[in-house]
Chain A
Amino acid sequence: MYDFSFQSPASAADAASALGAAEDGKILAGGQTLLPTMKQRLAMPSDLISLKGCRDLVGISSDGSTLTIGAMTTHGAVAASTEVAKAIPALSALAGGIGDPQVRNRGTLGGSLANNDPAADYPAAVLGLGATVVTTKREIAADDYFQGMFETALDDDEIITAVRFPIPQAAGYAKFDNPASRYALVGVFVAKTAAGPRVAVTGAGQGGVFRASDIEGQIASGQEPNSASIDEGELNGDIHASPAYRKHLIGVMAKRALASAG
């Protein structure tokens, strides 16, 4: 890992100005992706701006219709929270299935979303639930936030502060995980909302997480979900699974997610 200059500001606003002022700055949240990436020299930031001192970015609260989770809240804290388990149990289960216990003790919601790994779990929940990403500058609807593999709507000097999840009538998440990394080969999040079902797929799309509108239609009309209309040409293929296999898994995971939503 190349050396860098390190800063640890006390608020998200200070972190955003430090990020704007840095030559090639990066925000350090839990570091569970960024540090391994820096060790491989795939990232060589001039400045690392740590959010560990920003206590206002940690926390979970619910007002009965919206569950708000601070960006620096760890996966482990989300998985263990009784507030989350009461409001959106599918989100507890999703957070408890990320990586391994030590990764969950460091990795954060905001870090996962800012990175937008195409096989990460949280993007499926955020898009599936139609959440709002709150930043130092504005509020971004999930449908506008994810813009392709590792691409988001965030500006260069913009930091996620929290995510607001509308509490659905019911929700479920099912993933077929890579047995070594626990990343999703395919993960499907199904949410039943007052405005109809929402279905988000992670791990499969070449452009990262996406909504499966045909499956939403099938669930709305009471049909069993199937992935027949998904375009295989838009899906990932690698040593773990071909596009055809991932397409098949989308249907299977959608059925399982729907069943777990009840």
Chain B
Amino acid sequence: MPTVSMTVNGKQVSGEVEARTLLAQFIRENLELTGTHIGCDTSQCGACVVHVNGSSVKSCTMLAVEADGADVTTIEGLAMDGDTLHPMQEAFRDNHGLQCGFCTPGMVMSAIDLVDRNPNPTDSEIRDWLEGNICRCTGYHNIVKSIAAGAAAMRGQKAAAE
């Protein structure tokens, strides 16, 4: 069986996997990071979105062997010290951007990739970007509000750091 190694949330990890193992399975089953959800397993719902080398991807539609050597961030990697949430997570909480929470990890990971590329997105750009993330509870309204607020907070954090 192939061996894969990659950096996940800043830690070096490796494992022996079947070639057909999906990145989502490797993250959930080998690394036991179950914050990355598998909703549809058909590349449509976006619950499994993680960052690979800084870009959001659907981890159910990428082989673990394809991520060999990559730098991967999952939802668990955002609040690094465990207590302080990432501003985007905080914004979802403050704006009631979730109900059942199943889609939330993918929504947050997708949203952060958007803000990295477009620090001040309009509501219509946010909605457009969420094409690949499906939520069956909220009707998206509060998710869009959360992402706009999260983007503002991320801009503030960046300005403060400079």
- A residues near B (Cβ < 8 Å) are 1-6, 8, 28, 31-32, 35-36, 38-39, 48, 50, 52, 76, 80, 99-103, 105-106, 182
Contacts and interface: CB of A to CB of B under 8 A. Distances in A.
B131 A39 contact: no
Given A3-B18, A35-B22, 19 more contacts: A5-B19, A8-B65, A28-B66, A31-B62, A31-B63, A32-B43, A35-B63, A36-B43, A99-B131, A100-B46, A100-B131, A100-B133, A101-B56, A101-B113, A101-B132, A102-B57, A102-B132, A103-B61, A182-B131
Interface of B: prevailing SS: mixed
A105 B43 contact: no
A168 to B, nearest CB: 27
A103 B117 CA distance: 16
A39 B41 contact: yes
Contacts of B65: 6, 8, 50
Q: Which of B18, B49, B57 has the most CB of A within 10 A?
A: B57
Contacts of B43: 32, 35-36, 103
B131 A35 contact: no
Interface of B: 2, 18-20, 22, 41-43, 46, 49, 55-58, 61-63, 65-66, 68, 110, 113-114, 117, 129, 131-133
B132 A1 contact: no
B60 to A, nearest CB: 8
A31 B66 contact: yes
